[in-house]
Structure 1
Amino acid sequence: MSDAVSISDLATADPAQVTPFLNKGFGEVLGLEYTELSGDRVRAQWAAVPAHHQPAGIVNGGVYCSVIETLASTGGGIWLGERGHVVGVNNNTDFLRAVREGTLFAEATPVHRGRTQQLWQVTVVDERDRLIARGQVRLANITDTDRLGS
């Protein structure tokens, strides 16, 4: 997938084909493999590896926060489409079970989608479908995208 792709194109793309595009930069560290992309739901999976660990040898909570923010922002961006971009303005993540290794699965779904903001919930489960973490991300819908980063 080229650098010129817009986030709204993701809704019709094969998740396996757009994974490298979505994993640029910090996403490469997370190693997400997207399995579903739409403005109504985003799913991804990844392997918990030592690079994700904190000193006690378990996945760092920041990894869960990052995955949760990434999936919510991707879904919110797809939903907003060409009207603008989304930025996360609040991420509240609960860590429920420690993990050292294995495959983890995350799913993001909208709670509210309005004119100026969106609220998404995201769950993370392990291979045995045990809840590992859950989060909620509030996104601002930015329609004046030239002001981002100014």
Structure 2
Amino acid sequence: MSEENLASAFNQNNAPFAKMMGVTMTLVTKERIEGELLVTPDHCTIPATLHGGAIMAFADNMGGIGAFMNMPQGFMTTTIESKTNFLRAIPVGQTAKAVTTPVNLGRTLQVWKTDVFREDGKLAAVVTQTQLVRQPKES
């Protein structure tokens, strides 16, 4: 039995910054997160290609969703480390596609890897991030 795809729920309730960027989730399960981002001029650097910070923000959102999917109910997550390798540019007008998978799912630390692809299927960036999982502070 395969896991339910929760992409629709995350598209409705995604983080405000991810919504502002235009991130669309296409697959959300505990073991795999997939999303897309149409590269607009507002996402670009000079020349008109997807800005490195936009790639990192896209991947950070994906890893955060992965951590959320794999932590106890009521817990919180935050990124404590992120590393990006930029391999190829993604031109304006293309749709960047990201695939996020777990590297390690520990009780308090999770490591996620996001591969970001251009429309031609070539790998544009690899982002590895560590998510801290913690109980919310009591008021």
Shift of 1:32: 1.0
Q: What corresponds to 2:110 in structure 1?
A: 118
Paired with 2:37 and 2:52, the residues of 1 have a C-alpha distance of 15
Q: What corresponds to 1:20 in structure 2?
A: 12
2:28 equivalent to 1:54:
no
Q: Residue type of the partner of 1:98?
A: A
Percentage identity across paired residues of the two chains: 21
Structure with the largest fraction of strand: 2
Q: Residue type of the partner of 1:25?
A: P
Shift of 1:82: 0.3
Shift of 1:94: 1.1
Q: What corresponds to 1:7 in structure 2?
A: none
Q: Residue type of the partner of 2:17?
A: F
Q: What corresponds to 2:69 in structure 1?
A: 78
Gapped regions of structure 1 (runs ≥ 5): 1-10
Q: What corresponds to 2:133 in structure 1?
A: 141
Shift of 1:112: 0.4
Gapped regions of structure 2 (runs ≥ 5): none
2:59 equivalent to 1:68:
yes
**TM-score if structure 1 supplies the norm length?**
0.83
Q: Residue type of the partner of 1:74?
A: I
Q: Does the 8 A contact of 2:87 with 2:123 survive in 1?
A: yes
Paired with 2:5 and 2:75, the residues of 1 have a C-alpha distance of 19
Q: How many residues align?
A: 136
Shift of 1:56: 2.8
2:65 equivalent to 1:100:
no
Q: Give the ranges of 4+ consecutive aligned residues of structure 1 lying more than 6 Å apart after TM superposition.
A: none
Shift of 1:12: 4.7
| Root-mean-square deviation over aligned CA pairs | 1.9
2:2 equivalent to 1:33:
no
